[in-house]
Amino acid sequence: MTPSESSNAGRMIAERRWREAIRKLLADMPEDYDARREAMVRLRDVFHQEIAASIEPGLNAYAAEQPQSDLASCRKLAADVNRHLRELGLTLASPDNSGPAILLADFQDAQHKESLRFRLQITDETGRRFRRLASAKLPALRPVPVPVRTDPAPGPSRNR
């Protein structure tokens, strides 16, 4: 067996075990739809909280190891961090817990293009975006679950 085949076999075994564990959790949930749905929502929340806690040290170590010497490398790092978190159903916590945040990289202003900084862009509950935390050094990254949308489903499309 080649190393690649061995790695694939290991992944398949791990995935089978995960599925078995998940099926057992789901089988033990209430029969009543509303109670079952509430339990599943809580399970999803706990799952994402645990993923966030588990990935945080590795994410910060990964980010600290990446190049941060110019605007292009800082922007690439910010894009990579945001993409990695999205893949896991996570986002960044804002420093004051005012809403979910994404990492951005920019410079102070047109007169200070050499002054690179990282910023967090926060989206509040109304959907308005604003930027907080300007730091010349990469801040500690605290992943959190992406909040579930609670707004009503959109109505019929106006583009018909």
Question: pLDDT tens across 77-123, in order?
Answer: 999 999 999 999 999 998 877 678 999 999 866 565 667 889 999 88
Q: What is the pLDDT of residue 160?
A: 46
Does 92 reside within a domain? yes
Does 79 reside within a domain? yes
Does 11 reside within a domain? no
Does 155 reside within a domain? no
User: How does pLDDT run across 16-42, given as a tens digit for each residue?
Assistant: 999 999 999 999 999 999 999 999 999
Does 16 reside within a domain? no
CB 63 within 8 Å of CB 77: yes
Does 59 reside within a domain? yes
Tokens 């564990």, located at residue: 21
User: How does pLDDT run across 140-160, given as a tens digit for each residue?
Assistant: 999 999 987 666 555 565 554
Domain that holds residue 133: 31-145
Does 5 reside within a domain? no
Number of domains in the chain: 1
Does 38 reside within a domain? yes
Calculate the dihedral angle through the C-alpha atoms of 78, 79, 82, 84, rounding to the nearest 10 degrees.
-110
29-35, long-range: CB within 8 Å, 24+ apart, which pairs? none
DSSP assignment letter at 158: T
Q: Which residues of 61-87 are buried (b: 16+ CB within 10 A; e: fewer)?
A: eebeeeebeeeeebeebbeebbebbee
Q: How far apart are CA 74 and CA 86, in angstroms?
A: 18
